[in-house]
A and B are shown apart, each in its own frame.
Chain A
Amino acid sequence: MKNFIKLVNFELNRFFPIYAALGILTIMLQVVGVFITSNDYIFQIEEQTKMGIVKESAIILEIGQMGMTRFTGSLWFGGPIALCVVTLLIYSLFIWYRDWFGKNTFIYRLLMLPTERLNLYLSKAVAIFLMVLGLVALQLVLLLVERQLFSMLIPAAYIKTSTISQIILGSEYLLVLYPTSFIAVLANYSRGFIAILVLFTLILLERSFKIKGLLLAGIYALATLIVLFAPYWIQAIFNRQLFFTSELFWITLALTFVVGAVSIWISHRLLNRRITV
């Protein structure tokens, strides 16, 4: 266990400067976005006043109240999130290939460590997963701060007060990050973690068999998709909605765990038998 934690810490340390920069950039861009969105709204109020509309209720009738959805729907909010997602996706590939193609082919040193090789695989996946969770938590804190900032920057009469839950319900992107039910949170993030495991298995297949490995990785990816979407294929074949949505949710979740277990098993064998130093 200690070795595993050491490896996770090691992986985090390697990416930490970029990860910290991502966090800081997200904070900066979103806070700047709050000021710009507030200024735009205040400018609209002033425009209305210049046109002779002075009553707050009349101005609200024209331009609406300032709700957080105006901000969460903007590029200032969505842009940094998209940047984080893309960066972590790219790093999910880079986390392996840098060990092979970086200076001194570092993978050989990693494979020589006196620990189970599977720990390498799992520690990389856990490191990526923790980084995702960290950014998701940061965004939650930012939402609270941004809501507070809006209430300080815009006159109270024009503010549409919302709870964090309401802000999340108003944005389909935020609903993916913060589903309304805790069961859905566990399910969504389990799926995310297993997706990382499958991606790592594809990388290990390619690393183990090189060009042939690419073909094997393609076959494994296809097989994974067939298994995960099996209930939907079955419905299409029978031309019927055979399952309730709730049943599809539980069946596909169970299949995701099966795919996760198979990916760990294949990766374990590849690391122990195919990848040699």
Chain B
Amino acid sequence: MKKYWKVITLVLFSVIIISGFYVQKALASTTSPEYMIETRSGDTSYIENIVLSGNVNNEEDMYWDYVQISTEGTKASEDFSFNEQLDYIYNYSPEIQKMYHEYPGFLRSKSMSANLYYEDEAAIVFVDTYIEDYQLPYEQMEIALLDKKSNEETQIMIDIPEYEKYDDLYIENVQKSGEEVMIFTVNYFNDQQYAELHAYRVDVATETVIEDQIIQPAAGEVGVDYSSILLNTYTGPRSSKAEHYMIYESSLKDEQDVDTDEILLSAYDTASGNLKELIIPSELKGLPLYPAMTVHESSIYYTNAVENGFEISRFDIEANKVAETQFVSLPSEVMTNFTSQTYYEGEAFSTYIDENIIYYVSASKENSGKDIAIVVADFNTGKVLYDGKIIDAPEMNESFKDNLLSIDWIYFN
């Protein structure tokens, strides 16, 4: 036995150290950050199903991790199953994560960008550009439809009208109404210097484009369409219902030089295909794009976070005017989390609207004392239904306490 001391020592040393490290890692409860929601006032039932999705990072350590925070605690990337970790499923938006679990067969061989999908109670639609040999321009778009009841998938290819005109085509949003699929795109030409905004209506039964509407023509020599933006895509998580209106905000100048009078808002009616200009008061147009504006059914909600609360205006798209205003009063120590810029000079908060209930979540928890505050309010009465914040859980490992926590999405289980 003595003769083999080298091999025995090497085996024992390697096995004890390496397996010891992984066993300790598995047993330790604090190998990832742990947060919890602390209630200041209100009814906790409003946040029971809420999930706040974001990330924890520390530049010094080059450390980054995904987190989901709910009333049940914190789920970090290592809390996902091994296969989910391999598929980086935590990197995708909540609706894609849900599809990954419920319809993995449909997601197979498809891009996982949320803007390429439409989902309602009966169906999921996926649209993507298609090229045979990686040579732009795109000649076709592929459309896949999943009937949730029968679990049957239909795939069709459609030719893009006048495809040769464009250098590139980006799909911003997909909608479905009856047998028609609507595809909202940005079509670039002249080496991406100019762009047109298009709405394609596709008849799935005949596999043809029945309408190619230019929502906004290219600015041409005047300038690049810096701020042409489809608000439904940029203002929070997508709803699982069809959008009544697609709202475009555009100006022909660089964002920095733009005057509020030069901002144009238009609404595309997904049922009729009609486009109309919206008459938005300039004080509302001057609010930062996101998170101040949220499109919900036939309304656009504008929120102005001020020192003592939220000023909310509901713009009725059909009536083309501000229909209601409301003020939600909150103490200044809560509002400071919503009014100050984040560490990365990003947006200060996220908004989610469910019927008349509005959820506000501030964007980041920083060393400076800025917290992630959660406020739930009733738009009709202006009453605060819930007020709380995210705090470090008692079991949080000391090494995670200096990290920056940011919230990107609010969604419901």
Contact = CB atoms under 8 A, between A and B. Distances in A.
A7 to B, nearest CB: 10
Given A69-B60, A245-B88, A165 B31 contact: yes
A36 interface: no
Contacts of B7: 5, 8-9, 12, 130
B412 interface: no
Nearest to B16: A137
A69 B57 CA distance: 14
Given A13-B6, A245-B87, A181 B82 contact: yes
A276 interface: no
A140 B17 contact: yes
A239 B14 contact: no
Contact of A162 (B25, B61, B107): B61
A67 B59 CA distance: 10
B397 interface: yes
Given A5-B4, A244-B108, A134 B13 contact: yes
A131 B10 contact: yes
B324 interface: no
B344 interface: no
A78 interface: no
Interface in A47-82: 64-65, 67-69, 73
Interface in A244-277: 244-246, 249
Contact of A241 (B65, B88, B109): B109
Contacts of A44: none
A39 interface: no
Contacts of A244: 83, 86-87, 104, 107-108
Interface in B127-157: 132
Interface string B61-79: 1110100000000000010
Contacts of B6: 9, 12-13, 16
Interface string B1-18: 001101100110110111
A141 B399 contact: no
Interface in B93-118: 104, 107-111
Contact of B132 (A9, A180, A239): A239
Contacts of A214: none
Contacts of A169: 61, 63, 65
Nearest to B400: A166
A220 interface: no
Contacts of B31: 163, 165
Contacts of A171: 62
B87 A9 contact: no
B82 A69 contact: no
A137 B63 contact: no
A170 B61 contact: yes
Contacts of A9: 3-4, 6-7
B86 A245 contact: yes
B85 interface: yes
A165 B107 CA distance: 32
B354 interface: no
Interface string A159-178: 01111111101110000001
A133 to B, nearest CB: 4
A68 B86 contact: no
Contacts of A13: 6
A180 B83 CA distance: 13
Nearest to A250: B83
Contacts of A93: none
A254 B188 CA distance: 44
Nearest to A136: B18
A148 to B, nearest CB: 14
Nearest to B25: A165
Given A9-B7, A166-B399, A244-B108, A249 B86 contact: yes
B82 to A, nearest CB: 5
Interface stretch (A100-108, A182-190, A202-210): A182-190
A161 B17 CA distance: 22
B92 to A, nearest CB: 12
Contacts of A141: 17
B109 A182 contact: no
B345 interface: no
Contact of A163 (B13, B85, B104, B399): B399
Given A134-B10, A137-B17, A161-B398, A166 B86 contact: no
B62 A163 contact: no
9 contacts: A13-B6, A64-B59, A68-B61, A69-B60, A69-B62, A130-B14, A163-B399, A180-B78, A183-B82
Given A180-B78, A181-B85, A184-B82, 18 more contacts: A5-B7, A12-B10, A69-B61, A130-B7, A136-B18, A137-B18, A141-B17, A160-B58, A162-B61, A162-B63, A163-B31, A163-B397, A164-B21, A165-B25, A180-B85, A185-B18, A185-B22, A245-B87
Among all A-B residue pairs, the 3 with the closest Cβ atoms: A246-B83, A137-B17, A133-B14
Interface of B: 3-4, 6-7, 10-11, 13-14, 16-18, 21-22, 25-26, 31, 58-63, 65, 78, 82-88, 104, 107-111, 132, 397-399, 402
